[in-house]
Copies of this chain bind each other. A is one copy, B any other.
Amino acid sequence: MTMPPPALPGMPFSEIDTPALIIDLDAFERNLKRMQDLALKYGVRVRAHAKTHKSPMIAHRQIAHGAVGVCCQKVSEAEVMVRGGVRDVLITNEIAGARKLERLAFLAREAHVALCTDSLQNVQDLAAAAARASVRLNVLVEIDCGGRRCGVEPGRPAAELAKVIAGSPHLTFAGLQAYYGSAQHFRTDAERRSAIASAGERVKETLAELDRAGLACPLITGAGTGTCEIEASSGIWNELQPGSYIFMDADYARNQKADGSRFDTFEHALFLLATVMSTPTSERAVIDAGHKALSNDSGFPEVPFLPGAKYHRPSDEHGVLDLTECEHRPQLGDKLLLIPGHCDPTVNLHDWYVCVRGFNTPDAHVEAVWPVAARGAIF
């Protein structure tokens, strides 16, 4: 059921079939380096989030740039990473269901595996699964940092749960998961700083309770691309979990820096190449990329190299470009580059990355084709 790749290594850029997910390798490598520099500057660990890229090929490049391992959201995603040679995986999520816990426990026989929890019942289920597989699982207590998704209340409830974990012969209390997802996309720097400051207070309140209970907390992990410099410089967190920084997307670019300018700490390195399949009027072109090639949950893609063009009215396999304000109108068969609105779920729609060297130059060519190995890993 895997589709053939839209290009082969060595091909010139012009021969890539569409729709295709393109990595600008030079920008991607600069993003890897930028995150490494940030971590070194503040003396924190990076555990890159693999839910963004779903590719051991990329995970190994992140590890080569200093990452201690990867984060995953699903057991199946972790399985793909471990099979791809990654030795240290944190599932930044709660896992429910006997079959999944069994797979997870056995995965811990092959690699260093940790996961999060937020309830007593789940801790008991984890302990039972670990006992059956004769392993010791590393468990983090997830606290609600303000996002009102998963996580226990900080302070005493979190410390109570940590005590149960620490008291189980098959579990190790590994630390706190303190990730504030929605804060990543708060538009102003002040909003993001305020949210992470509040999350920091919740962590400190929890650390005080853990201390009172005589429990060491070796790890405080969290942060995403939008806020990671704030957590890194806080003196509270000691591990970052950024995902989107390697690619960036149109939604993250709508964040603002402290001076109000566009959030350009990381570069756009992921693009969707599409073909103009119809030009019914001079003010409208239709491209071959709709909901099945682009996830529009966080807004529409941008069209960076065709000034004035606006992507709108997507259907399943079509995207309409409004050319009203465009000076240079694309022709039937022309190929266009888009910046996806939201990189993670867009990547999950594709089987292949087409990795381009010399992007946007006359020498642009396909250097490699990498599988999106954990695409569809939702279990």
17 contacts between A and B (CB under 8 A): A1-B2, A1-B351, A1-B375, A2-B2, A3-B377, A51-B317, A94-B278, A97-B275, A148-B280, A149-B278, A149-B280, A150-B280, A291-B297, A291-B344, A292-B345, A297-B297, A348-B349
Q: Which residues of B contact A3 (CB under 8 A)?
A: 76, 376-379
Q: Which residues of B contact A317 (CB under 8 A)?
A: 51, 73-74, 93, 378
> B371, A1: Cβ atoms under 8 Å?
yes
- The 0/1 profile, CB within 8 Å of B marked 1, for residues 261-305 of chain A is 000000000000001111110001010110111011100000000
> B292, A333: Cβ atoms under 8 Å?
no
> A379, B348: Cβ atoms under 8 Å?
no
* Residue A200 CB within 8 A of the other chain: no
* Residue A100 CB within 8 A of the other chain: yes
- The 0/1 profile, CB within 8 Å of B marked 1, for residues 143-154 of chain A is 010001111100
Chief secondary structure at chain A's binding surface: loop
* Closest beta carbon of chain B to A102's beta carbon, Å: 11
Q: Which residues of B contact A361 (CB under 8 A)?
A: none
> A18, B351: Cβ atoms under 8 Å?
no
Q: Please, which residue of chain B has its CB at the minimum distance from the CB of A318? A: B149
Q: How far is the CA of A164 from the CA of B378 in the complex (A)?
A: 49
- Given contacts A144-B280, A292-B348, is CB(A96)–CB(B51) below 8 Å? no
* Residue A201 CB within 8 A of the other chain: no
Within 8 Å by CB of A316, from B122, B144, B344, lies: B344
Q: How far is the CA of A99 from the CA of B315 in the complex (A)?
A: 24
> A350, B376: Cβ atoms under 8 Å?
yes
Task: Select the residue from A97, A149, A316, A320 with max chain B CB neighbours within 10 A.
Answer: A316
Q: Please, which residue of chain B has its CB at the minimum distance from the CB of A377? A: B3
Q: Which residues of B contact A94 (CB under 8 A)?
A: 277-278, 286
* Residue A19 CB within 8 A of the other chain: yes
* Residue A309 CB within 8 A of the other chain: no
Q: How far is the CA of A361 from the CA of B97 in the complex (A)?
A: 22
Q: How far is the CA of A378 from the CA of B21 in the complex (A)?
A: 11
> B332, A316: Cβ atoms under 8 Å?
no
Task: Select the residue from A275, A313, A317, A351 with max chain B CB neighbours within 10 A.
Answer: A317
Q: Which residues of B contact A286 (CB under 8 A)?
A: 94, 149-150
* Residue A37 CB within 8 A of the other chain: no
> B1, A372: Cβ atoms under 8 Å?
yes
> A291, B332: Cβ atoms under 8 Å?
no
Within 8 Å by CB of A351, from B280, B291, B313, B376, lies: B376
Can you list the 10 inter-chain pairs with the closest CB atoms, starting with the nearest? A150-B278, A96-B277, A291-B345, A73-B317, A1-B2, A94-B277, A96-B333, A3-B376, A94-B278, A292-B348
Q: How far is the CA of A317 from the CA of B372 in the complex (A)?
A: 17
